[in-house]
Structure 1
Amino acid sequence: MRKEQRVKKNKEFQEIFKKGTSFANRQFVLYSLKQEEAQPFRIGISVSKKIGNAVCRNRIKRYIRQAFLELREDVQDNHDYLIIARKPAADMDFHEVKSSITHVLKRGKVLKKTSYGKNDRKK
């Protein structure tokens, strides 16, 4: 993901927390906030120290970024997304993370309607 597609500042994180809507499954919490100006979506990732050591936390963040990179055509633009990893995410491989992220995005209704299930059926 390019730097302009990431939420970095604490002020932006707090705005998404306060004004955004949240959706969750066992592994991830998704906050979504619609932006007024036309822009590509941005993501912020939060992984607590309670989940594991730095190696584990960085692996989870890499998996989340890669999952969003593969789903970028399916995710709605003009939104800021905040992904918070929960404890079970520490034991997952990339394919499990991607399917869990897809599930929480579907629950949040932020995937484009025509894309539901397309990537899952190819394999």
Structure 2
Amino acid sequence: MVTRGEKFTREHRLTTQSDFKRVYQVGKKLYSPFFILYLAPNHLRHNRLGVVASKKIGGSVVRNRIKRVVREAFRRYPCQREHGLDMVVVSSPSIVSLDGGQVAELLIKKLNSYYQSERV
């Protein structure tokens, strides 16, 4: 069971269309065969996440499973830095072939590569 401190709260979500647009326009794109990860700095001290799963991926059951898996990876592996990031994960149809652990591993790998490239 998820404890209160581990919940994926509203403050950790991208909720408005303008939030998504800003990340798409000013964010950096990181490509994977399974998703595209958009990252843009925000003015907060925590990260926020938005997940996009189009109908190309499958029916609602499949799309919602993908969203849950991505949110769980984000919730379990928070990357705490002094400035937060807004992240949008745009899933591709091939993500369906992965299990939750593989998705989490790929997301963490992409985030770590972003942080290392930004440090330089």
Question: Which position in structure 2 is the counterpart of 1:9?
Answer: 16
The CA distance in 2 between the partners of 1:57 and 1:43, in whole Å, is 16
CA contact (8 A) 1:28 1:104 kept: no
Q: Is 1:54 matched with 2:69?
A: no
Give 1:69's aligned amino acid.
Answer: R
Aligned-residue offset at 1:79 = 1.1
Give 1:82's aligned amino acid.
Answer: V
Aligned residues: 109
Task: State the identity as a percent.
Answer: 26
CA contact (8 A) 1:28 1:101 kept: no
Deviations 1:31-90 (A, max 9, x none): 11112x332110111011101100000000000011011111x35442111111111111
Map 1:30-69 → 2, pairs under 5 A: 30-35=37-42, 37-69=43-75
Question: Which position in structure 2 is the counterpart of 1:22?
Answer: 29
* SS of aligned partner of 2:115: coil
TM (norm. structure 2) is 0.83
Over 3 Å counting, the alpha-carbon distance change for 1:106 and 1:41 in structure 2 is: same
Over 3 Å counting, the alpha-carbon distance change for 1:101 and 1:75 in structure 2 is: farther
Question: Which position in structure 2 is the counterpart of 1:105?
Answer: 111
Structure 1 unaligned spans of 5+:
114-123
Question: Which position in structure 1 is the counterpart of 2:77?
Answer: 71
The CA distance in 2 between the partners of 1:61 and 1:51, in whole Å, is 11
The CA distance in 2 between the partners of 1:9 and 1:51, in whole Å, is 23
